[in-house]
Structure 1
């Protein structure tokens, strides 16, 4: 069992490291660089080449059944679910074979709506303490489930 973190813009790296350490699980923090490396021997920082989706491809090529992936990238999540990994968004929402199709369709629809209205203002909602707490609870649950696989 390994824990993969799509680390660029990930707000829960420290929380994920604590859970991985508790489970004595290897954690891969994958990014294009610019992150402070962890001194934890269970954490391996993977720096990939700059470019679109390079970190995503690194994770997708390696994850599989019994692994847990943390990402906000929906196309990456779909690839990981297809490979048999358990996938969580940063807010603790699980992405599974049962819901990934709808999540992808919604993402595509929202992309089209944003493209159709270039004057649309605002962004996503902020990351809250409740999101962080939900993530920790969900990651613990997914790590236990992955260990049983």
Structure 2
């Protein structure tokens, strides 16, 4: 059975709540990985893996444990790229699927934007997380869950 892994340090609470409900509804194992304890329902399906603080420690933990067919929820593009190489699926907390077809272009854009920011250009950030983003995530998660069963 596939497991859902969550790069939970930066995952919005509303997304975690959607994941908790979906895990219980579909009986899908869910693992939160973060460098600090996060509240989660008491359930044999939902676990919290607390890792030490440090650069990419949670990412490295996910990469070491994820298996082909699992789903990783992350906004971290290098992590998404690594789990895709292992045959897992990756999705942002906004419901955007990271795929072998789009990950390289997204990494290139990320690097370009970082270069722009480091040269003093203000690039702004993502739009606020609202009802539209919440619904997009829930819909994308439901599609993945339906395919994975």
In structure 1, the gaps of 5 or more residues are none
SS in structure 2 of the partner of residue 28 of structure 1:
strand
The residue number in structure 1 matching 2:117 is 114
Task: Give the superposition deviation at 1:18.
Answer: 1.1
Task: Give the superposition deviation at 1:122.
Answer: 4.2
For the structure 1 residues 80 and 74, does the alpha-carbon distance in structure 2 shift closer, same or farther, using more than 3 Å as the test? same
Whether the 8 Å CA contact 2:113–2:123 is kept in 1: the answer is: no
Task: Give the superposition deviation at 1:121.
Answer: 7.2
Question: Normalising by the residue count of structure 2, what TM-score does the alignment of the two structures yield?
Answer: 0.92
Comparing both chains, which one has the higher relative contact order based on Cα–Cα distances under 8 Å and sequence gaps of 6 or more? 1
The residue number in structure 1 matching 2:39 is 36
Question: Normalising by the residue count of structure 1, what TM-score does the alignment of the two structures yield?
Answer: 0.92
**Matching residue within 105, 109, 115 for 2:108:** 105
The residue number in structure 2 matching 1:68 is 71
Aligned residues: 146
Give the alignment's Cα RMSD to 1 decimal: 1.4
SS in structure 1 of the partner of residue 10 of structure 2:
coil
The residue number in structure 2 matching 1:139 is 141
In structure 2, the gaps of 5 or more residues are none
For the structure 1 residues 145 and 121, does the alpha-carbon distance in structure 2 shift closer, same or farther, using more than 3 Å as the test? closer
The residue number in structure 1 matching 2:132 is 130
SS in structure 2 of the partner of residue 46 of structure 1:
strand
